[in-house]
Structure 1
Amino acid sequence: MKTVRIDYFFELFEKNSIPKLFSKVHDPKNEKTIENPDFNKGTIDNAVNSVFFVPDYLQPVLGSDSYTIKKIEQFFKGYAIVLDGHDSADAYVKHRFRSNAKGIRRRIKRLEACFQISYQTFYGNIEKEQYDFFMDSLEKMLIRRFKQRNDTSQSLLRWEYYKNLYFSLINEKKASMLVIFDRNQPILVSLNHHFHGRLFSAISSYDIDYGKYSLGSVEIYKKLDWCLANDHVSYEMGMGDLSYKREWSNHIYNFEHQIIYPKGSVLASIKGNIEFLKATIKEFIFKIAYVRYKNYKAKRKKNPILSIKSEVSPIEAINNVPDGVQIDFNKEQYTFLRKTVYDFLYAAIENVSNVSVLQLNKQEHSFLIIGKSKMQHVVFENVPDKIDNLNSV
């Protein structure tokens, strides 16, 4: 008798299907069910099924009482935003964050005040050229972000698989892509799966030069608005205990591991109980190992990849501007300047179109950022060698 292992969460959200073993999926929160078109009534599965990552609000229903079910609560918790009773992202933010709701909206307004921002969600229609450009942008963002974190991206390890996957899914309305633009340049790309009116946020990243602007919060806000405008009932964040998930979620739930096997078979009972024991021991060991893993990750983050160091002076009113050479900080050789300029925009509430940068001293890498009414002096210490080798500024 074979043992079949089923990642239930993956089947629902990434494959957009219900495993054939189950007749339907039941949502106890709103008493709704989703029928399984692939279920073959009257057929008994003679395998031992090990079904893991079963969320408590999307319970699988067997089409027969001819099975024994044994359940193990899994270590990881899941995080979701249930949208019942809310008609806009703003309404949800007010309800969820109370007195801090203004801070969420202020981040969006600050981003839009400093840059020429636009938003687009692709769901059911995307051109291949567009898709390739956005996926290449997302890949570059992930590489920079995880290098900054001194961490490994699991998405990048399977990047070719994901790049080949999402184009058809988006055009079939089984997935979507949110892109946030500064002018025509993507600064955030997010890939999402869809299962019967439930959005699952799968892979996202942003341009770290815009780190001051809390693009993660902007992303969630915009996707919530999209969900409500497109008859979606929940925004699923999946497993993983991260602070932003705890802050935004109104439904923190448990995952179950279910061992399912046919009644009346001695062999099935023996194999089913062995599988149950193995899953129980695995969860116990994982809980112990995970604490050590978290401690290891914390130590790695204390030793981030060396970045360019700078000494930034306080922002002050424009008075006497020293002599210098104006440079285009958007050019490749000045990319190290972008984050500092964008941080200045955030603090001074200036629009990027009103800002210029002067290079005061080439040897000391001294620059002056000048807005409409404010300016800031910055000196870089470990600038890449190529800036020193430029023949002209």
Structure 2
Amino acid sequence: MFEMAFNKTLPHFYKQSYHITDHTISLKTVETKTASVFNKISMVIDVPSYIKVAKKEFDYAIGFKSIKQYNGYYIDLNGYIEVEDYLKDRFSRSSRQLLRAGKQRLEICFNSSYRMYYGDIDKSLYDALFKRFFNMLKQRANEKGIENRNLKHWDLYTKDVYNMILNKQASLFVIYDSNKAINISLNMHLGKTVYLFITTYDIDYSKFRLGHTNWMLQLEWFIKNDIKIVDFSKGNIEYKKRWANNEYHFEYHFFYNKSNILNKLKVFWMVSILKLKQVLRNGNMNTYYYNFLDKLKPDRESFKKINYELIQQELPNKKENLVIISNDEFDEYSFLRRMVYNYLYLSKLHIDEVIVYKELSNEERFYIKSEKESFKIYFNKK
């Protein structure tokens, strides 16, 4: 999948690929020479089962084995004219109301806007967005206590994606709070197929369910721009099941010399191991395994959750002991953001309708005040 989505190429063993949904060819290769497997075994991983691949001809007897691994999910948009039509097929009336309410609440509380960058983006803006993208991914990974493997390849993405956007081979969808990106999705385009490659959001806005707003707005754009397949890729994640209308599996393909007995035995052994891994994966053992490995890594940054509650209380009488924290100063008091944003969500107030104060005489005492009420932020240190 990575070769197809990111590099727009096929591995050496295939001459073309096409979709089983409409039989349109997605990729062709001009190479006629195949990679040699005369004295070795070659494995191609992550071949989506909804994509059929035509193998090249070999000069000698070639052995081939295919085994199912992982589940994947995709959206088939064929036949849909409006995003609301798709939402009606996938979600109940109450769920659709919740989806719309999440977007509306974001727009009530912030100066939100949405932008799809496809075919055009300023280079300085691109660099700033990718820096923000990286930081949000890292922050989200730290909060979950996991390692995000995309961060290891970030230099590759940063280097290549800019030209891919200009050439309409990739797109970047951004949700903004004023000029600040709070949700970014990187998509790979291949014909009428979009691969949802990487997405993340600012964890301070967690209350606003940005992920669902992101998928809803992107689907609207995909339908308007004649995208037919939207692939969520790997991961048995609940939201993918909720949004997707098709499930598939990834295949691992083995190529080997049939006349080599040792290679035949090795392939049999490798396939057996993969089958066992899939059994364990079906039992969710891989999640426990990777979480355990992540905890062993000493350089992993830890995320400290702040326990707090808002206690309704009038501001102190001595106003000279209070200092206003402006929106621009939230970088210095970043731990307050989620608290304030959660309050905005619950109170249905705009960010400009609340004032955050700190006490000069007590560095750990803060207040949130709106026109109708005021609260002291109480930190529970237990």
- TM-score category by the smaller chain? 0.7 to 0.9
2:72 pairs with one of 60, 68, 78:
78
1:28 aligns with 2:25: no
Q: Map residues 1-393 of structure 1 onto 2, 5 A cutoff.
A: 9-34=1-26, 36-40=28-32, 46-47=36-37, 49-62=42-55, 64=57, 68-74=63-69, 76-99=70-93, 100-260=95-255, 266-267=259-260, 271=263, 274-285=266-277, 287-288=279-280, 291-296=284-289, 305-313=303-311, 322-323=316-317, 324=319, 325-330=322-327, 331=329, 332-359=331-358, 362-363=361-362, 365-381=364-380
Correspondence for 1:388? none
Deviation at residue 190 of structure 1 after TM alignment? 1.6
Deviation at residue 105 of structure 1 after TM alignment? 1.2
Residues 324-378 of structure 1: per-residue CA shift (max 9 Å, x gap): 4241243133222111111011001111121112335742733332234444332
Query: Which amino acid is 1:209 matched to?
Result: D
Query: Which amino acid is 1:222 matched to?
Result: L
Change (3 A) 1:26 1:67: farther
Query: Counterparts of 2:155 and 2:171 in 1: how far apart (Å)?
Result: 18
Deviation at residue 62 of structure 1 after TM alignment? 2.6
Task: State whether residues 364 and 380 of structure 1, in contact with CA within 8 Å, keep that contact through their aligned partners in structure 2.
Answer: no
Change (3 A) 1:322 1:178: same
Query: Counterparts of 1:242 and 1:162 in 2: how far apart (Å)?
Result: 24
Query: Which amino acid is 1:248 matched to?
Result: W
Residues 151-175 of structure 1: per-residue CA shift (max 9 Å, x gap): 2111222322322232222222211
Where structure 1 has 5 or more consecutive residues not aligned to the other structure, the ranges are 1-8, 383-393
Task: Give me the TM-score of the superposition, normalised by structure 1.
Answer: 0.83
Query: Counterparts of 1:169 and 1:276 in 2: how far apart (Å)?
Result: 40
Query: Which amino acid is 1:30 matched to?
Result: D
Query: Counterparts of 1:117 and 1:164 in 2: how far apart (Å)?
Result: 29
- Stretch moving more, 252-261 or 78-87: 252-261
Query: Counterparts of 1:137 and 1:160 in 2: how far apart (Å)?
Result: 14
Residues 288-347 of structure 1: per-residue CA shift (max 9 Å, x gap): 37744423566789xx73233322236x9xxx6553424124313322211111101100
Partner of 1:181: helix, strand, or coil? strand
Query: Counterparts of 1:190 and 1:49 in 2: how far apart (Å)?
Result: 33
- Stretch moving more, 147-156 or 206-215: 147-156
Deviation at residue 71 of structure 1 after TM alignment? 1.7
Change (3 A) 1:35 1:167: closer
Change (3 A) 1:39 1:276: farther
Deviation at residue 31 of structure 1 after TM alignment? 3.4
| Aligned-CA RMSD value | 2.8
Deviation at residue 233 of structure 1 after TM alignment? 0.8
Query: Counterparts of 2:250 and 2:264 in 1: how far apart (Å)?
Result: 19
Query: Counterparts of 1:115 and 1:354 in 2: how far apart (Å)?
Result: 10
Correspondence for 2:299? none
Task: State whether residues 367 and 376 of structure 2, in contact with CA within 8 Å, keep that contact through their aligned partners in structure 1.
Answer: yes
Task: State whether residues 146 and 153 of structure 1, in contact with CA within 8 Å, keep that contact through their aligned partners in structure 2.
Answer: yes
Partner of 1:136: helix, strand, or coil? helix
Change (3 A) 1:203 1:45: closer
Change (3 A) 1:44 1:118: closer
Task: State whether residues 209 and 342 of structure 1, in contact with CA within 8 Å, keep that contact through their aligned partners in structure 2.
Answer: yes
Task: Give me the TM-score of the superposition, normalised by structure 2.
Answer: 0.85
Task: State whether residues 88 and 224 of structure 1, in contact with CA within 8 Å, keep that contact through their aligned partners in structure 2.
Answer: no
Query: Counterparts of 2:145 and 2:36 in 1: how far apart (Å)?
Result: 47
Query: Counterparts of 2:36 and 2:126 in 1: how far apart (Å)?
Result: 43
Query: Which amino acid is 1:306 matched to?
Result: K
Query: Counterparts of 2:355 and 2:120 in 1: how far apart (Å)?
Result: 39
Task: State whether residues 205 and 338 of structure 2, in contact with CA within 8 Å, keep that contact through their aligned partners in structure 1.
Answer: yes
